[in-house]
Chain A
Amino acid sequence: MTRRAAYEARQRRRANTIAGLSTLAVVALVVVLVPLAPGWEAVQRSFFDGETFVNTFPTLLRAFLLDVAIFAWSVPLIFALGLAIALARGAQSAALFPLRIFGAIYVDLFRGIPVVLLVYLVGFGVPGLGLPRPWNSPYIWGTVALVLTYSAYVAEVLRSGIESIHASQRNAAICLGLNSRDTMRYVILPQAIRRVVPANMNMLVALQKDVALLSFIGPVEILRQAGIYKSLLANFTPYVVAAVIFLCVTVPATRYADYLLNKDRNARS
């Protein structure tokens, strides 16, 4: 072992020891101090009841599949609409000026409204028009609310990706005789979409959580099912179960997005 390697190994051991000890100290403090709080026993009973956890878990997991389904059919709609809006905002010709304005207003409007508010407005408002079944379904209008909000975000992300592609790429394509449509489709967009994959992954994680907001307008997905159990059993543990189930999906997805982001950063530096 070289002198430098020996020194670095020593430094690393020292750092690991300190990190281990300080982590242990913090965990010990939490374990000791939290149960000393006056309300701890009541909280433990109503939030961390083992039996309730086990009993409600299967049903809540099944209810979560509905969240996954809503997520799954929303994603393609969000990306299709987001891409259309991003392209509309970049429209160059004078005749398409209204399209550009529409894109700008759309993005400002739907990024500016809290998702939950939009879910209420669209989810209760549109069926209120007295539409016949199945067009009054909260699944449809809840999905519409999610798609409106998230496509606005995705449009912005895509637009930033499109603008990040260096002008020399566009020049190279145009000098080969490609028209602006083919330049966008074959040269700019494939690179732009690749570049914003990490940002869109984070968006998908946020969407998966926001699907639970549809519980406010009817669908018995995991949050609403947990609420039903809470009323039935007079216990909050089902909410903790729901949180755990969400984390099982969102934590790996977030880590994966971070991994992609780092890989992308390293590739470009």
Chain B
Amino acid sequence: MPDPRLSLRGVTKSFDDVPVLRGIDLDIGPGELVCLIGASGSGKSTLLRCMNGLEPVDDGEVRFDGVDIAEPGFDLAPIRQRIGIVFQSFNLFPHMSAYENVALAPARVLGETDAARPRIEALFNRFGLADHMTKYPDQLSGGQQQRVAVIRALAMRPETLLLDEITSALDPELVGEVLDVLRKLRDDGMTMVLATHEMGFARDVADRVVFMDQGVVAEDGAPEDIFSNPKRDRTRAFLSSVLR
């Protein structure tokens, strides 16, 4: 295996003395699509937020291309451009059009005001939103908003994408269009970590599935192994409760 893109060692995190992550060891290789599954409250979202420093970890190492970004006081801004994140609730800026949402960070952070335009328009085209660039978030469906949020992250040309239950707030008939976006990105070789409840997607598309339980990685393996032949009792219990 080549050097991992992201490498976590002994990561712990508590909120007000409630331990959420209790010693996470995890490697994400370049170009891998890793799905985090597990019950609500198992620490999937928190783990993702620790991977780009949005939540500071209490202890342990988070190495991104070998650099420990969990070092207290580490300047995260340059790293955050290289790790995109997309949230469950989209978090588009409601006062900006879809295009402005996407163009803001390239203009302010990369200094690409006009230079980014062809790239951004190509992204809108590619993900089927060319007709919606001038619309405001409240004029778009949930699936469209979430695709804009993905485009917004991609416009910064990240090498890694963290996706936090990005289909959980969508109506069932809109989930497919967002998952299709992820399939395309996977074909591009984007490194992705996806917290998800979409077991079908995890089984079909993921390179690896990581089952989290009570703040630790309970099982980690190829999707066929996890779904067809789970080794741990709690993995089996979780899967039988969600796959009915």
Interface residues of A (CB under 8 A from B): 168-169, 171-179, 182, 186-187, 190-191, 194
Given A187-B93, A190-B95, A194-B95: A176 and B54 within 8 A (CB)? no
Dominant SS at the B interface? mixed
Given A186-B104, A186-B108: A177 and B81 within 8 A (CB)? yes
Chain A proximity of B224: nearest CB distance (Å): 33
| Interfacial residues of chain B within 145-164, with CB under 8 A of chain A in the complex | 152-153, 156
Contacts of B77 in A (CB 8 A): 177, 179
Q: Is the CB of A177 within 8 A of B109?
A: yes
Contacts of B109 in A (CB 8 A): 176-178, 182
Interface residues of B (CB under 8 A from A): 52, 54, 77-78, 80-81, 84-85, 87, 89, 91-95, 104-105, 108-109, 152-153, 156
Contacts of A190 in B (CB 8 A): 95
Contacts of A173 in B (CB 8 A): 93, 105
Most chain B CB within a 10 A radius of its CB, from A169, A174, A175, A178: A175
Chain B proximity of A37: nearest CB distance (Å): 56
Q: How far is B52's CA from A204's CA once the two chains are assembled, in angstroms?
A: 44
Contacts of B87 in A (CB 8 A): 168, 171-172
Q: Is the CB of B54 within 8 A of A175?
A: yes
Q: Is the CB of A176 within 8 A of B153?
A: yes
Instruction: Write the chain A residue with the least CB distance to B85.
Output: A175
Q: How far is B12's CA from A164's CA once the two chains are assembled, in angstroms?
A: 31
Listed A/B pairs (13) with beta-carbon separation below 8 Å: A169-B93, A172-B91, A175-B84, A176-B81, A176-B109, A176-B153, A177-B80, A177-B156, A178-B104, A178-B105, A182-B108, A186-B93, A191-B93
Q: Is the CB of A174 within 8 A of B54?
A: yes
Chain A proximity of B11: nearest CB distance (Å): 19
Q: How far is B234's CA from A133's CA once the two chains are assembled, in angstroms?
A: 85
Q: How far is B87's CA from A147's CA once the two chains are assembled, in angstroms?
A: 43
Lowest 5 A-B CB distances belong to which pairs? Answer: A176-B105, A172-B91, A177-B81, A177-B109, A168-B91
Contacts of A191 in B (CB 8 A): 93-95
Q: How far is B175's CA from A131's CA once the two chains are assembled, in angstroms?
A: 72
Contacts of B91 in A (CB 8 A): 168-169, 171-172
Q: How far is B136's CA from A190's CA once the two chains are assembled, in angstroms?
A: 15
Q: Is the CB of A176 within 8 A of B95?
A: no
Instruction: Write the chain A residue with the least CB distance to B83.
Output: A175
